[in-house]
Amino acid sequence: MATLIETTEAAALARKAEVQDRIARFAAIPSVSTDPVYAPFMRQAVEFLTGYLRDIGFGAVTVNETPGHPIVTAEWMGAPGAPTILVYGHYDVQPPDPLEAWLTPPFEPAVRDGRLYGRGVSDDKGPLLVALGAMEAWLAAGGLPVNVKLMVEGAEEMGSAHLEEFVGANADRLAADFLLSADGAMWRADLPSVTVASRGMCALNVHLKGAAKDLHSGRYGGGVPNAAQVLMQLCATLHDDQGRVAVSGFYDGVTPPDAAQRAALAALPFDEAAFLAGLGVKAPAGEAGYGFLERNWLRPTLEVNGLKAGYTGTGFKTVIGAEAEAKLSCRLVPGQRPERILGLLKDHLRRHCPDTVALRFEEKPGGAHPSIIAEDHPGVRLALDILSETSGQTARCVRMGATIPIAEMAQRVLGMGTVFFSFSTADEDYHAPNEFFRLARMEEGLTAWTRYLGRLAEIDFGKAKEAAE
């Protein structure tokens, strides 16, 4: 006779066409958080989400206003004595630009070759609705096997600027045994993995102003400051010839990876040369003395994310632009604080900036600290077991070079670890044109989430905490 978990898995998979359609309808809402032009669609996404949560049986569905976009919360607490998890996701998406690079319109989701294409299908609307689809199956079967609280924000793609304030003010309401994230893509599609660490982040816009207006490069060139040229020179001071960040004090507090960490990374099935070739990269770059995974997971970085200056339109214009701008970001590791790194970066730029131009900074809100969870955490162990079962491969613990602010926030403010259980993968072009979500991963996710919730009910977190202590 089939167990309740098995019958619920079958019911979840029987609804996979509905889940796919729901993902497509959700992704058709252009909920771009960073651009005010899209503000009405942010509300539309909230209405879509809250309506669905009420329909499938969640209670206390609440639209929590913030100084930015709303945070949606809900809960189902009908399993007394069972573990309680806080499930996290986000409903906002990245801007779709450049529009001309999309093969089909970004907000008209389309299926091609077993993939659903559209902005937000992988990050994070697809993975979020996969998790909720599994919960829907359990609720239809009579109730969730564990207590579930939901928190879905609308500003993750902007750095989660107001999330910490909300989390701190609602700590009792959000209390749980741990946070289970539907966001945070797996490393690779061909290797089941659980992410146990992510880097922090801080970002800075650098503005330079030379003359009061754009000037003719023939009549004025050579005698007035060129903001674009000064900006390039400034950016060139950020790294030394060995690829190390040249900002004084940047590495203070950073512990180099030890032999065990490097050996663990070396043991992962990873062909660096083939990986880079697949990206169209001719040769590796970055801090000397480290391989790609070490640079990406264990070391801090400083990147130039964008440059704007002068004339960049079609054709040619002989002009000396009055202004120039660079967008910089740092990925941080344990031992670094975003506010301190921003201060060091500003000091560096001030020291190297000539007095021929005016220098101004604009900080990106929502800097994030790095985070880590123990590999023997019961929620991590369960995820590894289930992924190994569903994939037929041994699941691995990996790290993430990217940043998801809730992980460290949950650790520091709520006192709980974060288990990443997302079924998108890092190669699905999120943040880029032609973002996609593999439909096979949707099915795998429905099975895994259903099984995870069922098996989680068997864990005694009180004993697990005692053992850890």
Structural contact between residues 153 and 69, judged by C-beta atoms closer than 8 angstroms? yes
Kind plus residue range of the DSSP H or E element containing 358: strand 358-363
For the chain, give the percent of residues with pLDDT over 90. Answer: 92
User: How many CB atoms lie under 10 A from the CB of residue 39?
Assistant: 13
pLDDT tens, residue by residue, 165-200: 999 999 999 999 999 999 999 999 999 999 999 999
Identity of the amino acid at 228: A
**Which of the four pLDDT bands, split at 50, 70 and 90, describes residue 447?**
very high
Confidence (pTM): 0.88
pLDDT, tens only, 6-24: 999 999 999 999 999 999 9
pLDDT in tens, 119-164: 999 999 999 999 999 999 999 999 999 999 999 999 999 888 899 9
Q: Which residue has the tokens 């107001």?
A: 162
Confidence band for 368, pLDDT divided at 50, 70 and 90 = confident
According to DSSP, the β-strands at 115-117 and 436-438 are antiparallel
Percent of the chain with pLDDT over 70: 98
Contacts of 182 (CB under 8 A, 6+ apart): 87, 88, 89, 124, 127, 128, 130, 131, 421, 422
Can the peptide bond before residue 145 be classed as cis, meaning omega within 30 degrees of 0?
Answer: no
- The two tokens of residue 83 are 């573990």
Can you give the pLDDT at residue 468? 46
What is the average pLDDT across 103-125? Answer: 98
Number of H helices, E strands in the chain: 16, 18
Q: Using pLDDT thresholds of 50, 70 and 90, give the confidence band for residue 461.
A: confident
**Banded model confidence at residue 321, pLDDT cuts 50, 70, 90:** very high
Nearest to 189 by CA among 422, 382, 424: 424
DSSP annotation string for 314-335: SS---EE-SEEEEEEEEEE-TT
pLDDT for the residue numbered 197: 92
18-48 pLDDT per residue, tens? 999 999 999 999 999 999 999 999 999 999 9
End-to-end CA distance of the chain: 40
Residue 72's closest CA among 108, 46, 106?
Answer: 46
* Cβ–Cβ < 8 Å for 131, 419: no
Q: Whose CA is closest to 289, among 243, 340, 236, 247?
A: 243
What pLDDT is recorded for position 469?
A: 42
Average pLDDT over residues 291-299: 95
Cα distance between residue 168 and residue 409, in whole Å: 9
pLDDT digits (tens, 9 = 90+) for 195-254: 999 999 999 999 999 999 999 999 999 999 999 999 999 999 999 999 999 999 999 999
Helical (H) or strand (E) element with 362: strand 358-363
43: exposed, middle or buried (Cβ count in 10 Å: 0-12, 13-18, 19+): middle
Q: Give the pLDDT score at 467.
A: 53
